[in-house]
Structure 1
Amino acid sequence: MTTQIKNVEKIFGSFRALQQINLDINEGEFVAILGPSGCGKTTLLRLLAGFDSPTSGEVVMKNQVVADEMSFLPPEKRNIGMVFQSFALWPHMNVRDHIRFPLKHHQFLSEDLKKGMDFRVDEVLKMVDMYHLGERMPSELSGGQKQRVALARAIAPKPALLLMDEPLSSLDAELRMSMRKEIQQLHHLTGASIVYVTHDQSEALAMADKIVVMNKGIIEQVGTPKEIYSSPTSPFVASFVGKANLIQGKWEGTEFYPFHQHAIKWDGTSVTSELRGENIFPARPEQLKISFREGGLKGVITNVQYQGKEIHYTVTIEDEQWVIHQDLDAMFSIGEEVYIHLKESQTRAVKKQLHFV
């Protein structure tokens, strides 16, 4: 099912939560809505779910307008499934009953599923590796198991659109990694369109076909994970997704002079025209290298965080603080004066010869 959001705005009193949102969600596509708290991503999800209506604009599902400023279809009249952040399991129902519930009440259930509810319950429980726990009550389940039940309940009626509101945020780091793989697998098995709201860039990059980056109620950029990470078109996307250091300087074509220092030139061929227009070079922590070799930007180590496979340094340069990830082959200490270079694969460092008359 193709879903379209056309010129949608949502206003709460004097607060504009969404501004001119336009987005297409294609059939079978995994779309991640990514952004910080308060950016409007959950408001957008609520409009898709039918929990709220837009102030202006419209939401179209399968060529039918399901929401505009005049009216909207409630959730039960849309062919959707929903996975909540808080699991939202019923304490009086066991696992099997949770899966069976939407099969009894979903309005878009196919005739095959109506005739084979028990088979579908077994099938879905096997998908999420919960078949052996079908008689358990929610109070007898771990956090990861509860989330599997919530996922199974949502996919049981085979909805055309599956909405997920930060479903992994309440789990610990190890469980989140495991559940990412399971959600990806469920996406491949079900073929449903998925809209996945998250503030975690690693989740979005790992799972989505398309990422929608939001900030202050607007869409900053839409693209594949590679496009969003490698070719940000705004300072916000560069710093939020790639955690890039936003370096001021001067552009001459595709050549960049950091801090207008004419003795240092970086190749910025891969930097988007939008960031060039703002005289910014987005340098991600792994693109920079610290050394005692002159010819780079001079700085001072102000913080060191050991991370096992690498070390995260904070370096103060021209009153700015940059974060740089360095391998363990060279180690630096707080207070040391160092030089920062763009890695050789990223730059052609050229020193200009000074001519005196």
Structure 2
Amino acid sequence: MTAVTEAAATPTAPPTVPPTAAASGPDTAAVLSAERAGRLDCVQSNLAQLADDLHGPDAHLALGAALRFRPRPGPHGLPTVEPALEDQLATAASAGLAETARWTAVQPDALAGLAREHGRLYVVADSFAMPWLPYHGQRHMEHSYLVAPHGERALVVDAYSSHTPWGVAAPVRWVTDWSTLPVSSLVLRFDPVPAPEAEPYGDHAGIEEYVAAYAAHPDRVAALDQLTTETWLLARSRALHAAFLATRPGPLDERTAAHVLRLGRLAEQAFLAFRRVQRGRPEPGGLLPDVAAALHADRELFGTPDPVRAAVAEVVADVVGVPADEVRAAPALTALPGFHSFEVVEVVEALEERFGVEFDPDDLLPENLHRLDGLCALVTAAGAAR
């Protein structure tokens, strides 16, 4: 699954219905609205459709309970926040879906037989060969859909929604011949089970290394192309998490909606930067610092609270004279107004006094002293050495 260059592509006309297909299917529930589908990627969207069909509206929001920033190796030697397919599928349990059967490398005629025997199935295949998508004949990537028998034909439901360079992918229901469907890399049967009580969870690691990899990559077109995907994924996953949080007791933090909007704008900026560089124009200078700042704000808003980090931020805030929220959100302490070398000395002394530690002189380097993460690492290491 990849969502490259989808974040801010200009909408065009929807894909033409292939001659063998016709909109139909009164025997299935309505496809997710475009608004709800707009919070989901192309693996989640049809897990969400199943969850809502089997458990009722908004059951799919549990897919957004756990929020992670755990980059893994991705295209072009760059890190990616896109989860592995199996990790994505594992989240189905949170929405009350239990995998009860699995097949791989399934031809269309075999898929027809499986659907007649087992009913509606969840399918992963190559979007390049899916005639209802604008990716058809344009882009290879893993994409999901649901399929069930409809007389002698196939009823395809695809709840995915996105703007792409080749047109709009909108939630659809199609009746088509089985022969028009692609070879399936993976076919799953899900059965309903009681959904566990979902609790919000945030896990963030490696922000600085992630941003640095994109800043240092020599192929700027490839880096910005992938960054467009990354910011698109971040924006959607945070929108889904926010929608899940809205179902919890108590008011939603007013910063949440602003943060989701901020990530959506970053996705647009990444796409525009990609297109500019693709055309041989200069790369905008502020994009990656903005990404870093947004990711730090993301950790502060959604991450598991870190008492050491909170205390270090308070010390820095007292020394510099700015709110602790600004310290936590800053990509580097040097970005704070008025921060200078004299205040670095004050910060070091204040931290040693606050935590009752003494830093190793060899560790007092700019890369450790000019970032909140670096100061936290100093405090942790000094505490462990006592």
TM-score calculated relative to the size of structure 2: 0.26
Higher strand share: 1
Q: Normalized per residue, which structure has more helix?
A: 2
Computing the radius of gyration from Cα coordinates, the structure with the larger value is 1
Q: Which has the higher contact order (CA 8 A, sep 6+)?
A: 2
Q: TM-score, normalised by structure 1?
A: 0.28
